[in-house]
Structure 1
Amino acid sequence: MSTPIRVTVWGEFRHEKKNPKVAEIYPDGMHNTIAGFLGKDADITVRTATLDEPEHGLGGSVLDETDVMVWWGHMAHKEVSDEIVAKVKTRVLEGMGLIVLHSGHYSKIFKSLMGTTCSLKWRESTDKERLWNMMPSHPIMKGIGDYFEIPQEEMYGEPFGIPAPDELLMVSWFTGGEVFRSAATWYRGYGRVFYFRPGHETYPTYHQDEVQTIITNAVRWAMSGVRIPDVCPNSPALEPLPEDPEAASRSKIGHK
């Protein structure tokens, strides 16, 4: 690819500051771990942004210079500015890709784009997660086998309050017996949205090869290559139009 995909990895960066267990797993923050493996791809350039930066790190020209955004949030969804959410949503509708990870299912931006509750069941315990590949031919699933396992993860269970996905890529099974639609895509405006379930902060999920592969593949898939603002233009005809008899008649009456 001649022009690199410009990725912004957005994260709360709160758990890492407050929970020593999380800080041990992600000493530089989850956002930097994700940016780190994405940045190893020669076709991707990465920047990061976090909640406590001015305008959550998304002010100025950041959104204009982002082709794909990766979003991780959890404990501070309500602290995200509605104004910033509206700007991110506008960019998605114009063609920016959005990858929403784990507890980002309850973020303002994901709920706004889905138009539903996005609620679910959960349990933080010792569950193993087995993720089944439902669409091996999909570009996001490139390099992933029939399934892979995460030794310990937070459980998410159905019902998941999302609209029917345009593409359902993976379904998870947990040791406790629950299942979950764990990887799915939607098209919103000119943008592409991917939700990927794994990634609870107290587990080293983002260090796992399969998880890194899927997120990297998703960045490539989510790159639409277009930006089409909503201007609702009046459009001239491409071909000559036949004369409207009623319009011609009205014109003659008006000239008497």
Structure 2
Amino acid sequence: MLVRDLVEKHRAEFTTAERRLIPFLKDDSLVIELQSITKLAEAAEVSTPTVIRLARKLGFDGFPALQGAIRAELAERIKQPLAKLEAPMAESGADHLINRFAEKVVQNLGQTIGQLNLADFAAAATLLSSFDRPVYLIGGRITQPVAAYFANQLANVRPRVTLMSSSRSAWPQTVMDLDDRTVLIIFDIRRYEKKMERLAEFAVSQGVQIILLTDQWGSPIEKIAHHCFRAMVEAPSSWDSTLALNFLVETFVAQVQREAADASAERIRRMEHVIGATEIF
């Protein structure tokens, strides 16, 4: 588990003094305070023994182990594509890239399913099944195609679905229509895009419900999202894999169609009629 997740898991066990350390363990902008146990204690206005006790409650031997875990997480989250290149391996048998990639994809799917909160999934699907709520979707540099696929599939089973442009210059005429009936689906994986965080902050100020699909480390948008789903994205490549994200997308579409079966069926019938009339196929 990530340190921030361990903090949430053990929050009820913390003393008042230990709770003062929580912001410094969950906010990346404060991570500079982790340079030493003394600086962290001073910044949080607690004693160094308090820091040590908290580290042990989280399952670490002491502060250095906690500090090392946080630094390792940050290093993974900001890893650039070239840093992910692996040393050459034999291209035969089990070492073939196809086999290694397939093995990693299966592992990603298993871990994504294993950490999925079913109650949260059901709540988010219910939001998407409310056809009176307009749904907007947007992705980043790598995930915009995934957002487009989600928008296309979702529009097959429900109305009022809009894919937002990834260009900020096109946002004003869209965001001005966001209100407390709106659902905004955001895709944000490392390296997290600041514009997505700004958009999310504005949307929340308008009362918008945000569904975030992110990676295993968690976008900064997690702090304000109403529903958050992490997908495993590691792959034997310079680039992260979006296959687990697509798994979540297709599962959501299936659940929406199931919850709004009659309305979705009627929409699909009408769509088939339009397709036939336009002789697309």
What TM-score comes out, normalization by structure 2 length?
0.35
TM-score of the two chains, using structure 1 as the length reference: 0.38
Comparing both structures, which one devotes a greater share of its residues to helix? 2
Q: Write 1 or 2 for the structure with the bigger share of strand.
A: 1
